[in-house]
Amino acid sequence: MSDTAPRVRKRQLGAEPEPPEEGAIDLSGAATLAYSSEDPAHPVEHAIDGRGGAGGTCWRAAQPNTTEQLIVELDQPRTLSKLVYEVEERERERTQEVRIEASSDGGKTYRGLVTQEYNFSPGGATFQREELRIEVVDATHVRLTIVPNKNGSGAASLTTLKLFAG
């Protein structure tokens, strides 16, 4: 008898990923995701696994009340036309800020694209989806800086991140 358990291919019922949207870049095959921290139960790959929406999987930082960064390091420069991201907080009242910047010079300098704040309240708003039209020629990096506790406390999180070429 072997000491090694056989590899089993598995999937949880009801947890099928969304089909890819037209023009969406497959970040798992076309980029490296650099991150400042991650909760082992909510790794960074959850942000790009296609299981978005309210109640979807998410990336969450390892520690609360700490500004975090996620950087998408594209394997090849791309012209970006759209960015979609989702954030969710069901447990506590807090305000989270998401600042998005892009680089076309290998991450040496960044240009600001958008800064958004989200107010979460378990008895009210718990989920936000943003679909932003952007124009970044020859993007090499996209950086998200997430401040989880502009008001209240909690860990930085991101449910979905998608980039579109165009």
pLDDT tens, N- to C-terminus, the chain (166 residues): 556 667 776 666 766 666 778 899 999 999 999 999 999 999 999 999 999 999 999 999 999 999 999 999 999 999 999 999 999 998 899 999 999 999 999 999 999 999 999 999 988 899 999 999 999 999 999 999 999 999 989 999 999 999 999 8
Can you spell out the DSSP letters for 43-100? -GGGGGSS--STT---EE-SSSS--EEEEEEEEEEEEEEEEEEEEE--SS-EEEEEEE
Exposure letters 55-87 (e unless 16+ CB within 10 A, then b): ebbbbbbeeeeeebebbbebeebbebebbbbbb
What's the CATH number for 31-165? 2.60.120.260
Q: Which of 149, 159, 164, 144 is nearest to 60 (CA)?
A: 159
- Residue listed under structure tokens 């947890």: 15
pTM for the whole structure: 0.87
Is-contact 150 115, C-beta < 8 A?
no
- Rounded to a whole number of angstroms, the CA Rg of the chain reads 17
Q: Rounded to the nearest 5°, which phi and psi values hold at 120? A: -110, 140
Phi, psi of 29 (to 5 degrees): -105, -10
